[in-house]
Amino acid sequence: MSGLWADLADLVLPADCAGCRERRPGLRHGVCPACVVTLGALRPRAARPTPAPPGLPSCVALGPYAGPLREALLAYKEHGRHGLARPLGALLAEVVAAAVGGARPVALVPVPDTAAAARSRYGDHLDRLARHCAARLNRSGWAVRVHRPLRASPRPDSVTLDSAGRTAAAEAAFQPRSTGPVRSRAGGAAPVVVLLDDIVTTGVTLAAASRVLTATGWAPSVAAVLAATEKRHQS
């Protein structure tokens, strides 16, 4: 991806690569050259869980939740390496561009963090990615704005829940803010609503958010994510 190396090379981070965790003395880049090549070779593609939950919009992912992409997301999201927001946001911009299919007005709607999650991560991690994503697209001639029509309610740790419990928790996870439906700018074309998340696994979270958005006039045309988990098939 053009500019990805420049984004990553600007970072002055710990000596371990965020993509492969290899420690290299004097490393002054967030991701080593080999992992940059791997990330730059990823191309957005359709990603849909099986079975797909009701209300899940079409979804496009940069790549599978594995390798350097997985490690970079974990380093950013769970280990406080916030400088990775810019290059990851640039990669997310590629996904949005592929999902929308042309330079047209776009409304980006990130899935919000709960207040507790935002505190633990020193800010809403996806909102930060969305802002960098929008900035990259705007510099490329798109008309893009980030909107926040959703708020997240406290919910239990999904690790402790079974499939039915995760579905029930997702149903109660999002509430609309007091905003009206998405509108066009100055009588122009109505923006395409793109729902953003970092990872799609079962699709339950994206489907729940999409249902709330649709009910309040913000129906997403597509969801864009960085990574999609893949089912392991037993031999």
Instruction: Render pLDDT for 23-73 as a digit per residue (tens, 0 to 9).
Output: 754 444 578 888 888 999 999 999 999 999 999 999 999 999 999 999 999
> Which percentage of the chain shows pLDDT scores above 70?
77
The arithmetic mean of pLDDT across residues 192-201, rounded, is 96
CATH number for the domain spanning 178: value is 3.40.50
Give CA–CA dist 26/36, Å, rounded. 17
The answer as to whether 189 is a domain residue is: yes
Residue 126 pLDDT: 94
Token representation of residue 178: 């007091």
Contact 130, 110 (CB under 8 A): yes
Give CA–CA dist 224/111, Å, rounded. 11
As for how many domains the chain has, the answer is: 1
DSSP state of 191: P
Give the residue numbers spanning the domain of 49. 45-228
pTM: 0.84
- ∠34-79-64 over CA atoms, to 5°? 50
The answer as to whether 27 is a domain residue is: no
